[in-house]
Amino acid sequence: MQMKIAHTLRNRVYVYFSRCNMSSFNYKSCIDVSPEVSKALRSHTPVVALESTIISHGMPYPQNLQTALQVEEIVRNEGAVPATVAIVKGRIKVGLNQEMLAEFASLKTPVVKTSRRDFPYVLSKGLNGGTTVAGTVIVSSAVGIKVFATGGLGGVHRGGEKTMDVSADLMELGRNPVAVVSSGVKSILDIERTLEYLETQGVCVVTFGENKNFPSFYTPRSGVEAPYNIESPVEAALLIEKLFELHLNSGILLAVPIPDAEAIEGNEIEKAISTAVKEAEDHGIKGKEVTPFVLNRVISLTGGRSLESNIALIKNNAKVGAQVALELAKRQMHSSKQLSSEDVFQSLHAASSERCAAKSSPRFDILVK
C-alpha cells in the first residue's frame, strides 16, 4: 500500500515542483504565474494552456482579441481555468487577464514568434513574444500544466526533405509530457512526413472521434491514418494519466477534427494552399515567416473562409481540451483523497530530491504575480 501511495504521488510531483531536467530557465526571475492559475494548479482544478502566436501572428486585430476572449470563456464554461502563455516586456506570463489580452492583441510594436531558441534573446531584450506550440509546451510542462489546446501543430513543411524545414513543435512534444489538443497539423504542411517524424520522437498520436482518419486542419479528414483512436474525454484523461505514470517525458497529440459544418472542401483549400506556398517560394520567404505568410494568403484566396474555419476549430479544440482536463483533474482528486498530508510531504520531498540529485541546475521556482 505504501509503495502504491508513493508511486501515485510521484506521478503528481509536477504540480508541486517544476521538473529539474527541463531547461536552464531560472523561473523565479523569468516567469509570472497568475494567482488564478497558481491556485488552480495547487488545488487540482483543471487548467488548459493556450498559446499566443494565434493572437500575435495567426489572426488580424480585432478578430485575434475576440477569439482569444471567446476561447477563454469556452474553457471556463467547461469548468477549467484558461492559462494563456505569452511574453510581455521580457517576462513569461502564464495566465493573462482581459486587460493584458487586449493590450497584447493590439500591440503596435513587433511581437517575436517565440520558440525554444528565441527565449534567451526575447527575455534579455525585454521584448514581447507570442509563444509557439513549442514555446507553450515548454512553459506548460515546467509549471505543471498537462493539457494544452491550440489550432494546429507545426510540422514538416512541404519539400522539407530538401529544405530541412521542420517545426520545433515536433521536437518539443517529443521531450515534454504535455497533451496537445489540436486539429492535427496545419494543412499547409506535409502530413505524412510529420506523422513519421512524430513517431521518431516517440509522441503518442491519437485521433479523437469515430475513426483513425487524421484531421487536416481545415478539413476533418486527410486520408492518412493515425496509429490510435479514442472517443471520449474519459479515455483521453486515462491516456494522459498513464503517460505520467510511465515517466516517458514525451507528449501526446490528441487530433480533433474540425466540425463538418465549419470545414472547407478539400480540393478548394488545397488549391489555395498550393498557390500560397508557391508565392512564398517565389518571394524567398523562409523559416518561421513561412507559416504566417501562407496562412494570410490562404485567408485572401478563400475570401476569409479559412479564417472562419480557423476560429471554429480553435474553439472546438478548447472545449475538448477543457473536458479532458476536467476528467484528468477528477482522477487526480480521487487519488488525493486517499493520502495523508504526511504521505504527501514525504513522497514529494523524495521525488523532488530524486529528480534534482543528478542535475547541477537549481530547482525551478515559480513567481506568483
Q: Are 88 and 110 in contact, with CB atoms under 8 Å apart? A: no
C-alpha span between 82 and 75 (Å, rounded): 6
Q: Are 199 and 228 in contact, with CB atoms under 8 Å apart? A: no
Please report, as a single letter, which amino acid is at residue 214: F
Question: Considering 93, 113, 146, 186, which one is annotated as catalytic?
Answer: 186
Question: Considering 51, 72, 241, 327, which one is annotated as catalytic?
Answer: 51
The question of whether 51 is a catalytic residue gets the answer yes
Please report, as a single letter, which amino acid is at residue 175: R
Question: Which residue in this structure is represented by grid cell 509570472?
Answer: 32
Most distant pair of Cα atoms in the chain: their distance: 65
The question of whether 4 is a catalytic residue gets the answer no
- Mind telling me the catalytic residues? 51, 186
